[in-house]
Amino acid sequence: MNLQVTNFLVHLSHRWFPLVWLIFFIVGLAWLVSVLVDRRVQTVGDVARSRISRPIRAAASVAMCLSCGTCTLSGLHLGCAQVAAQRSTCMSNLKEVGMAVLTYAQDYDETFPRSTEWSDLLQGPRPSGEKIGLFDKSLHCPSSSTPWGYGYSRGISAKKIAQLEEPARTVLFFDANSSLRSFSGGISDTADRHIGGSNFVFADGHAKWQNRLTIHDLIWDIPEPSKPRK
């Protein structure tokens, strides 16, 4: 589902949610009045009773339809709220992992960790003796069916920060189709877990949601510096 449409439905259902119980009350009251009128006018005759109770029943039917629609929106609100919360938690996790990588790079000669052991390196000590402080819970995407869920961009492995021409477009971590703790990969490994798209954190530290079409505009590989001619 399109992100803008989902956000609109969440906003709409959130505004209508307090009306659910009010509409239920109106429906119940309308049916109760209809039944009472039927009993009170039995002595008047079937025709008169029908003329009196028919509009009330019609109003109750309209209220019932409105109630069903409101309940549907309310259910949508709850479902979308859960999806939005998971996406937000995932984004926060990726920001934390991204900051850990940037901290590592600054401590180790402006060089990003190797793709084969990045998760162990990020939990190791800094040159000062302090730990970077990245915990396993930050490596888990709440929308993933596996204990982990993130991938380190293979193209940035062991590269220098100075080699990045556009850090804001250079992928650092992303939602990945993997059950490995220290997984690294590329564009074909992305997982569309969040409303038809994936969360990313970039080499400048910012995190952003991207859909399947826009990920091709991102930078996944850092070319090796050209060697000077002799």
pLDDT tens, position by position, 17-66: 555 556 656 666 666 666 665 655 555 555 555 555 556 556 555 555 55
Q: Is the pLDDT of residue 102 over 90?
A: yes
Of the three residues 58, 81, 104, the one that is the final residue of a domain is 81
Q: Do residues 48 and 107 share a domain?
A: no
Position 230 in a domain: no
Q: How far is CA 167 from the centre of its chain?
A: 24
Position 226 in a domain: no
Position 20 in a domain: yes
Q: Do residues 7 and 102 share a domain?
A: no
- pLDDT confidence band for 224 (50 / 70 / 90): confident
* Rounded average pLDDT over 148-176: 95
CA distances from 63 to 22, 25, 53, 67 (A): 10, 10, 15, 6
Q: What is the pLDDT of residue 199?
A: 97
Q: Do residues 207 and 191 share a domain?
A: yes
- d(CA 140, CA 181) in angstroms, rounded, equals 9
Could you tell me the residue range of the domain that residue 44 belongs to?
3-81
Are 178 and 148 a contacting pair, CB within 8 Å?
yes
Position 54 in a domain: yes
Position 196 in a domain: yes
pTM over 0.75: no
Q: Which helix (H) or strand (E) holds 19?
A: helix 19-40
- pLDDT confidence band for 198 (50 / 70 / 90): very high
Q: Is the pLDDT of residue 119 over 60?
A: yes
CA distances from 158 to 106, 172, 192 (A): 13, 12, 27
Are 114 and 121 a contacting pair, CB within 8 Å?
yes
Q: What is the pLDDT of residue 171?
A: 98
* Rounded average pLDDT over 120-145: 78
Position 17 in a domain: yes
Q: Is the pLDDT of residue 137 over 90?
A: no
Are 222 and 163 a contacting pair, CB within 8 Å?
yes
Q: Do residues 125 and 170 share a domain?
A: yes
Q: Which two tokens stand for residue 46?
A: 């079937």
